[in-house]
Structure 1
Amino acid sequence: MGLYSWPVKYVARKVFGDVEIGNSGEDPFFEEVEFEKKSFWSGSSRIVRKKRDKSIPTFIPEADRRVLKKVRKRAYRLDLAFHLCGVRFGWLGIIGILPVIGDFLVLYLSLMVYREALKVTGGLPTVVTTQMLSNIAIDFGLGLIPIVGDIIGVCYKANSRNVLILEKHLKHRYNKVQVPRAK
């Protein structure tokens, strides 16, 4: 953990609790897989962990899979594209540094991700829409606070949270409609 990242992570933990986007089980973009790697020379094996792109479940229809994939890609660029001193941040963290104008640009880009999520077949229910818009509103409100708000906004990652909400909604919606197994 870098010298500069400790204060940021400490403040984020105090403000938002122990929920961190990017840790195991909560990462909307990557999943960790284990596999056995055998040595060429000795023949011994060991278990290796690697990250790979998170797969979209096959029971989700193709149109919704495309929407989810596009939302994931945009959210990743906006929230987690760069890595500095142990902190992941994206274009929103850079744009948010600009006073007032940057905050409105961040709001606009986040609303574009939300608008893309609305293209899901059948639309989104009110509960999901409210959760997503409240994440964007919290991020915008925090971003208006000079300097500290920008740091907290980088840690909050509203678009990544919205991707998790959308993915959970799609899994819940289509997992019920599975084909019964033949006996």
Structure 2
Amino acid sequence: MSQLVSYAAKRVAGDKAAHFARQFEPEDPLYEYYEQNGKQKRRKREVPPGLTKQEAKILRKVRSRAHYLDKGFNLCGLRFGWTFIIGLIPVVGDLTNGLLNHKLVVKKAQQVENIPDWLIRRMVMNNSVSLGLGFVPLVGDIALAAWKSNWRNAELLEKCTPT
């Protein structure tokens, strides 16, 4: 989705608009991209230093789940995940997405010791926005694919894990 928006913005307003559109998308929690010999490649992100083994394991699991829920598939240059596919089913799919997002990402993040309450509230708020967007037919599902609440939650967890 973001690639389509970036392409359209680039065609209409040039490179600056495409860069502007990309800056609001959260980074991929599972992979980092780098350039080698003029080609873009990716590798799995390392966990930040200073985490315990359990915290590192939880962070890796949350990153992986967020990746597959929000950006696991690539079809004709569009990146989307299971939340988009499940969300296409009216009402039941949106409720299922809300439960999956909470159970697979937020509940797993709560296993980190001494996690701040404000962080959990913010993660639940991201999921609430996702759930609300999902109830709008089709347009909401497309916005949901662009919002990527699980990515945002993985990024919040990474930045706020106790060290």
TM-score range, shorter chain: 0.7 to 0.9
Unaligned stretches of 5+ residues in structure 2: 10-17
Shift of the 50–8 alpha-carbon distance from structure 1 to 2, 3 Å rule, reads: closer
Aligned to 1:115: 107
1:51 is paired with a residue whose SS is strand
Work out whether residues 5 and 85 of structure 1, in 8 Å CA contact, stay in contact via their aligned partners in 2. Answer: no
Shift of the 19–9 alpha-carbon distance from structure 1 to 2, 3 Å rule, reads: farther
Work out whether residues 97 and 147 of structure 1, in 8 Å CA contact, stay in contact via their aligned partners in 2. Answer: yes
Aligned to 1:143: 134
Residue of structure 1 aligned with 2:77, choices 86, 91, 95: 86
Q: CA RMSD in A?
A: 2.8
Number of aligned residues: 152
1:13-92 correspondence runs (5 A):
18-21=23-26, 26-33=27-34, 49-92=40-83
Residue of structure 2 aligned with 1:166, choices 121, 135, 157: 157
Residue of structure 2 aligned with 1:157, choices 134, 137, 148: 148
**CA deviation string 1:113-155 (max 9, x = no partner):** 1101100022x21221121011000000010011110110011
Instruction: Please give the alpha-carbon distance, in whole angstroms, between the structure 2 residues aligned to 1:101 and 1:85.
Output: 27
Query: Which TM-score applies when normalising by structure 2?
Result: 0.82
Instruction: Please give the alpha-carbon distance, in whole angstroms, between the structure 2 residues aligned to 1:157 and 1:53.
Output: 19
Query: Which TM-score applies when normalising by structure 1?
Result: 0.74
1:83 is paired with a residue whose SS is strand
Identity across matched positions, percent: 36
Decide which structure has the larger Cα Rg and report it.
Answer: 1
Work out whether residues 8 and 151 of structure 1, in 8 Å CA contact, stay in contact via their aligned partners in 2. Answer: no
Work out whether residues 62 and 108 of structure 2, in 8 Å CA contact, stay in contact via their aligned partners in 1. Answer: yes
Shift of the 86–33 alpha-carbon distance from structure 1 to 2, 3 Å rule, reads: closer
* Displacement after TM superposition at 1:51 (Å): 1.2
Instruction: Please give the alpha-carbon distance, in whole angstroms, between the structure 1 residues aligned to 2:147 and 2:133.
Output: 9
